[in-house]
């Protein structure tokens, strides 16, 4: 089936609306909440909860772009500010986990109140990473033990995006990965919805970070934290690994969350990279040094070559991202494409923003402008939702058709 990304009238309108939000509501407070790292960006959170979350899907009844449009929105909003994007009161990654692994009843129970009118802003989050388990998420040590009709969680989760809001604000929730059977390895790992305020879930602290400083990144401790048995997402059955087979079905279910979240992170990276590139192009234009796109390669300046390379990297990352999202729309397996997009975009945004600072010199390095901030905001896209190396590993495994045990 041919893929085309020509925006419909409706999606172009929607995109323009998100761009306006980014320009008018995010950029003006971008520096403020980068400086005031742990303050709640009240004006943004309140506006988003009251107005922004209704979104804008365009006016005409075009075919719509589904998940591609979600990625376009992420790009526009992260062109505004990636930290503020992550601080939006939404189900976020926790919602992706519920959507990927939850039953229809769980989706209704945990997600529908996010659409209710009024009330206070609420957040969702997903907690996988532990002090001794990051890239190797199968090594997690947080346990879940069934006691009657409740699961009892014990362990510590670190670097949980939106973990402060999701664990504290009534209506919020944290999806926690824990093992119900350590012996079973990956097959024993399940995810549990822990509603905000559940006794035994403690907010230990929040990180001071290099970038995306408007986003809260929490450490959460679980001590005899009890949730109803019905809060386990999907099936509690542990399918022990058949040594003759290479797959791990149960774990794969939980990992399916990444097929949706990696294209979004890739789109976020594209948004930050575009912010830096746009700033470079505007500055060069003001100085009368815009790249000559029609100059023969032998006559191009080094600056022109650098800018065109940045543009090519950005475009490649965006097309990979939209392809992964489009496949999701079509219900096609997209793990390979999602990891390709994430790996490419993480690297592209890191290079583009560093190059932007290099081209602009002192202007790029100064806090008078946001370019130095974008350079700091860029790097996280190469770390969370699978690091650069891990996504490259996934791509290699998928292309070569090697199980994880053979290529690690
Ligand atoms: C700001 C921020 C927000 C985050 N948000 C969340 C969140 O919401 N939820 C959550 O669960 N986690 C979150 N994380 C955690 C993030 O997903 C992990 O940091 C990431 O998965 C890497 O794990 P690690 O830090 O333990 O590094 P490690 O796994 O220890 O890796 C260290 C280095 O070794 C490399 N490496 C590891 N294994 C291999 C291998 N097999 N082959 C080649 N290289 C390898 C890695 O690529 C990396 O460069 C967040 C992190 C940050 C910084």
Mean pLDDT of the chain: 92
Residue-wise pLDDT for 197-247, tens only, equals: 999 999 999 999 999 999 999 999 999 999 999 999 987 888 765 544 444
Cα separations in angstroms, 136 against 17, 178, 247: 39, 13, 16
Q: Any idea what the Cα angle at residue 133 is, between residues 132 and 137, rounded to 5°?
A: 165
| Structural contact between residues 391 and 258, judged by C-beta atoms closer than 8 angstroms | no
User: Do 9-90 and 94-107+116-251 have matching folds?
Assistant: no
Pocket flag, ligand 1, residue 408 (CB < 6 Å): yes
The rounded percent of the chain whose pLDDT value lies above 70 is 93
Fold of 94-107+116-251: Butyryl-CoA Dehydrogenase, subunit A; domain 2 (2.40.110)
The CATH number, out of the four listed (3.40.140.10, 1.10.30.50, 3.40.190.80, 1.20.140.10), of the domain defined by the range 256-400: 1.20.140.10
Residue 129 Cα to ligand 1 midpoint, Å, equals: 8
Q: What SS3 state is found at 336?
A: helix
Give tens-digit pLDDT for 147-195: 999 999 999 999 999 999 999 999 999 999 999 999 998 889 999 999 9
Residue 252 pLDDT: 67
Quote the CA–CA distance of 60 and 106 in Å, as a whole number.
33
Indicate the top mutation candidate among 129, 222, 404 to test ligand 1's pocket, ranked by most ligand atoms within 8 A of CB. Answer: 129
The verdict on the CB of residue 379 being under 6 Å from ligand 1 is no
Active site residue 105: no
The CA-based angle 162-163-165, given to 5 degrees, is 70
| Gap between the Cα atoms of 367 and 349, Å rounded | 19
129 lines ligand 1 (CB under 6 A): yes
CB 228 within 8 A of CB 210: no
Instruction: Kindly give the number of the ligand 1 atom that is closest to the alpha carbon of 212.
Output: 1
Separation of CA 398 and ligand 1 centre (Å)? 20
- Provide the pLDDT confidence category of residue 249 given band limits of 50, 70 and 90: very low
Nearest to 356 by CA among 271, 280, 251: 280
pTM of the entire structure?
A: 0.95
Kindly state the average pLDDT of the residues 242-271.
75
Residue of the nearest CA to atom 11 in ligand 1? 128
* Domain extents in the chain: 9-90, 94-107+116-251, 256-400
For residue 215, which atom of ligand 1 is closest to its CA?
1
Confidence tier at 289 by pLDDT (50, 70, 90): very high
Is 218 touching ligand 1 by the criterion CB < 6 Å? no
**Residues in contact with 37: Cβ distance below 8 Å, sequence separation at least 6, in sequence order:** 208, 209, 213, 214
Probe residue for ligand 1, chosen from 97, 134, 137 as the CB with the greatest number of ligand atoms within 8 Å: 134
Candidate of 135, 165, 272, 389 to mutate for ligand 1, largest count of ligand atoms within 8 Å of Cβ = 135
CATH fold for the domain made of 9-90: Butyryl-Coa Dehydrogenase, subunit A; domain 1 (1.10.540)
- Whether the CB of 11 sits within 6 Å of ligand 1: no
| Closest protein CA for atom 23 of ligand 1 | 134
pLDDT band at 8 (very low <50, low <70, confident <90, very high): confident
Q: Computed from CA positions of residues 23, 26, 29, 34, in that sequence, does the dihedral angle turn out positive or negative?
A: negative
- In ligand 1, the atom with minimum distance to the C-alpha of 209 is 1
The predicted pLDDT at position 137 comes to 85
Angle subtended by helix axes 388-400 and 335-360, to nearest 10: 140
């Amino acid at each position: 089936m041919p893929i085309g990304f020509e925006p419909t009238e409706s999606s172009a309108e929607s995109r323009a609306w998100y761009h306006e939000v980014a320009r008018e509501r995010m950029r003006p407070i971008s520096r403020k909440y980068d400086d005031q790292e742990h303050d709640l960006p009240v004006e943004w959170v309140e506006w988003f909860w009251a107005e922004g979350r209704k979104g804008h899907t365009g006016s005409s009844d075009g075919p719509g772009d589904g998940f591609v449009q979600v990625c376009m929105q992420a790009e526009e909003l992260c062109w505004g500010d990636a930290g503020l994007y992550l601080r939006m009161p939404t189900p976020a990654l926790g919602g992706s986990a519920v959507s990927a692994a939850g039953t229809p009843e769980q989706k209704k129970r945990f997600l529908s109140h996010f659409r209710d009118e009024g009330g206070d802003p609420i957040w969702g989050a997903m907690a996988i990473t532990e002090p001794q388990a990051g890239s190797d998420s199968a090594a997690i040590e947080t346990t879940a033990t069934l006691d009657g009709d409740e699961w009892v969680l014990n362990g510590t989760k670190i670097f949980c995006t939106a973990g402060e809001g999701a664990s504290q604000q009534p209506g919020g929730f944290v999806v926690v990965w824990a093992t119900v059977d350590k012996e079973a390895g990956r097959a024993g790992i399940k995810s549990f919805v822990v509603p905000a305020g559940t006794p035994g879930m403690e907010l230990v602290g929040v990180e001071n970070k290099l970038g995306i400083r408007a986003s809260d990144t929490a450490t959460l401790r679980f001590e005899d934290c009890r949730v109803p048995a019905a809060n386990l997402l999907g099936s509690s059955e542990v399918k022990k690994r058949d040594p003759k087979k290479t797959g791990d079905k149960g774990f794969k279910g939980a990992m399916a969350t990444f097929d949706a979240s990696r294209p979004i992170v890739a789109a976020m990276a594209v948004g930050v990279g575009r912010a830096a590139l746009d700033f470079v192009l505007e500055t060069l234009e003001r100085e009368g040094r815009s790249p000559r796109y029609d100059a023969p390669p032998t006559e191009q300046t080094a600056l022109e070559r650098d800018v065109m390379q940045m543009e090519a990297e950005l475009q490649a990352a965006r097309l990979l991202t939209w392809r992964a999202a489009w496949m999701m729309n079509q219900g096609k397996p997209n793990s390979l494409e999602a990891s390709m997009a994430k790996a490419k975009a993480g690297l592209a945004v890191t290079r583009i923003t560093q190059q932007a600072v290099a081209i602009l010199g002192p202007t790029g390095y100064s806090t008078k402008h946001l370019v130095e901030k974008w350079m700091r905001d860029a790097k996280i896209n190469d770390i969370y939702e699978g690091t650069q190396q891990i996504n490259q590993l996934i791509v290699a495994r998928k292309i070569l058709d090697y199980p994880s045990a053979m290529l690690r």
